[in-house]
Amino acid sequence: MRLRHLLLMLLALALLAAAGCDTDEIADEPDDDDDAVADEPDDEADDDGDDDGDDDGDDDGDEDDEPVDEPDDDPDDGEADEDALSVAFVYVGPVGDAGWTYRHDVGRQDMEENLGNQVETTYVENVEEGAGSEEVFDDLARDGHDLIFGTSFGYQDQMAAVSERYPDVVFEHATGFTTTENMGNYFGAAEEGRYLEGMAAGAVSETGELGYVAAFPIPEVVRGINAYALGAQEMNPDATVQVVWTSTWYDPETEGQAAESLLDAGVDVVGMHQDSPAVGQAAEDAGAHWTGYHSDMEEFAPDAWLTATAWDWGSYYTETAEMVLDGTWEPREYYGDMADGLVNLAPFGESVPDDAIEEVEARRDEIVAGDFAPFTGPLTDQEGEERVPEGEEMSLEELLEFDWFVEGVIGEIEE
């Protein structure tokens, strides 16, 4: 009997030991599901980023009004200092437009690279011009940003109003003319590049009939068209430039249709003041040529490509942030040019003859040296009336108020 009890006790102990071994094995086994979730990249977040960059321009921008914080791509750089300057950018189009907004965002990234952890940046893209933009600027100021850049003409009045409400925030407005005690404006002499573009276009055109797809009839756009025409006429005195307005900065479909209408009318080179490469793609499809704007867009229509006026905003953004950081910033009206590197000319396409390239580059050297200005008289308007006497150069104030077309431009400045 005692032996039987002893055997039963040994059997119970053996069963307990076996159960303990199973429990340890389960506890030590890794949780494959948890590890998979932790290590799996967020594909949905990546997709959202790609969609923003490839926006077709039809979006009203409401979904993009939330600021996008720029991540630190280099972990060795460390996080921004606690007292880092908080800088926000407001864009009228998507950062992937390949043109205006793209170049501003490259400038933002250049500023980050130049200043490191002294700054932290964010941006809001696809913000429509006009009354609705005021809320975006107000939100950014209220959220504690120290420096806010608005990169489109139609933000001017809204930025000025918000600047009055936030006197400790620095505002910078691109392409306008208004300043306040804490708001400056900045732009550049795109007309210098436009003149050189026109020279290339005039040299390549076989008919002397050029076209120009233009966004809005404001002085910025008008002086670009005029400079383009004058440059073309230097190479071909009989050259004309026919203008079509689109009433949009960025809408690839509308831009392409406008270019097609000009090509159907017989032009063989098309210029543009638009933000996408759609004009160039239409020109390439038609076997014609084009000059772009904002950046080197050759990859989008290489066979049609001639050149483009291109922007480099990085130095200005860096300099402005440095002035805010060291307390020396004051509102100013900055108008950069080729001499200071804000305005550049993109590489030439294969269709531009070598002798024409030499002439364009020689004229560019004169512009950089201050020996040539595109709007130097005699200049006459479409009706043949002299507007600028021989030897006289238009002032910056006159350029910023340009509201007439030079002789050889076909079209009207719409109200």
pTM above 0.85, yes or no: no
Give CA–CA dist 49/33, Å, rounded: 27
Establish if 260 belongs to a structural domain: yes
Considering the domain architecture, whether residues 262 and 169 belong to the same structural domain is answered as no
Establish if 290 belongs to a structural domain: yes
- Burial class of residue 362 in the structure, from the number of CB atoms within 10 Å of its CB (0-12 exposed, 13-18 middle, 19+ buried): exposed
Tell me the HSE value of 85 on the side-chain side, using a 13 A CA sphere: 25
Considering the domain architecture, whether residues 97 and 178 belong to the same structural domain is answered as yes
Q: For residue 107, what are the contacts with CB-CB under 8 A and spacing of at least 6? A: 311, 312, 313, 314, 316, 317
Considering the domain architecture, whether residues 248 and 288 belong to the same structural domain is answered as yes
Per-residue pLDDT, 308: 99
User: Domain holding 132: CATH number?
Assistant: 3.40.50.2300
Phi/psi of residue 129, each to 5°? -70, 160
Considering the domain architecture, whether residues 318 and 249 belong to the same structural domain is answered as no
Per-residue pLDDT, 82: 78
Establish if 107 belongs to a structural domain: yes
Full residue range of the structural domain in which residue 364 is found = 190-310+345-410
Considering the domain architecture, whether residues 254 and 399 belong to the same structural domain is answered as yes
Considering the domain architecture, whether residues 179 and 205 belong to the same structural domain is answered as no
Q: What are the pLDDT tens digits along the chain (415 aa)?
A: 433 443 344 444 444 344 443 333 323 333 333 333 233 333 333 333 333 333 333 333 344 565 655 444 443 444 667 789 999 999 999 999 999 999 999 999 999 999 999 999 999 999 999 999 999 999 999 999 999 999 999 999 999 999 999 999 999 999 999 999 999 999 999 999 999 999 999 999 999 999 999 999 999 999 999 999 999 999 999 999 999 999 999 999 999 999 999 999 999 999 999 999 999 999 999 999 999 999 999 999 999 999 999 999 999 999 999 999 999 999 999 999 999 999 999 999 999 999 999 999 999 999 999 999 999 999 999 999 999 999 999 999 999 999 999 999 999 998 7
Considering the domain architecture, whether residues 131 and 202 belong to the same structural domain is answered as no
Give how many domains the chain has, as a whole number: 2
Residue whose C-alpha is closest to residue 231's, from 271, 261, 258, 266: 271
Considering the domain architecture, whether residues 174 and 195 belong to the same structural domain is answered as no
Per-residue pLDDT, 414: 85
Going along 62-192, which residue ranges are E strands? Answer: 68-69, 85-90, 119-124, 147-150, 170-174, 183-188
Establish if 45 belongs to a structural domain: no
